[in-house]
Homo-oligomer: A and B are copies of this chain.
Amino acid sequence: MRVGVADTTFARVNMGAIAIDELKRHASVSVERYTVPGVKDLPVACKKLIEERRCDIVMALGMPGGKDKDKMCAHEASQGLIHAQLLTNHHIIEVFVHEDEAENDAELAWLAEQRTREHAVSAIRLILAPKELERDAGTGQRQGFADAGPARR
């Protein structure tokens, strides 16, 4: 299994290194890393990881700022990531941490690490253990903060 890890120099946490660390803990995967300036550079980077460096799945890691303009960049990047998936028939797991989700730098660093690690596990499951995802269907899973849980208990 070959996993692509695309991240940015714009992010304030080394999400790429965290993703690689977590991936290696769970499976014997080879990793292709691709660092770009910002989130809007991620879609084509992910597509190249799939088509030119033959990854089975890619994690797209980014940390959009808190201003309106940054929200728009994140939206444009997300649409591009979905488009790239449709053009390649491969999953790209978007892991975006918005700077304004955290109250301070320490919480931001914690959140970025936690969400990246949990999504790394999802990436592995999508390729190697889809039945585990099916078992968790509809259970209100969240990445980073606490799970919401099922509506009926």
Contact = CB atoms under 8 A, between A and B. Distances in A.
Interface of A: 7-17, 33-37, 40-41, 43-45, 47-48, 51-52, 69, 71-73, 75-87, 89-94, 98, 105-106, 108-109, 112, 119, 122, 126, 130, 133-134, 136-143, 148-152
Q: Which of A12, A91, A94, A106 has the most CB of B within 10 A?
A: A12
19 contacts: A10-B140, A12-B138, A12-B140, A12-B150, A12-B151, A13-B150, A16-B138, A36-B91, A37-B119, A37-B141, A43-B82, A44-B85, A47-B86, A47-B89, A51-B89, A69-B98, A80-B86, A83-B86, A84-B86
A101 to B, nearest CB: 8
**Count of this chain's copies in the oligomeric assembly:** 5
Contacts of A11: 137-138, 140
B44 A89 contact: yes
Given A87-B86, A151-B112, A137 B9 contact: yes
A109 B79 contact: no
B82 A40 contact: yes
A40 B94 contact: yes
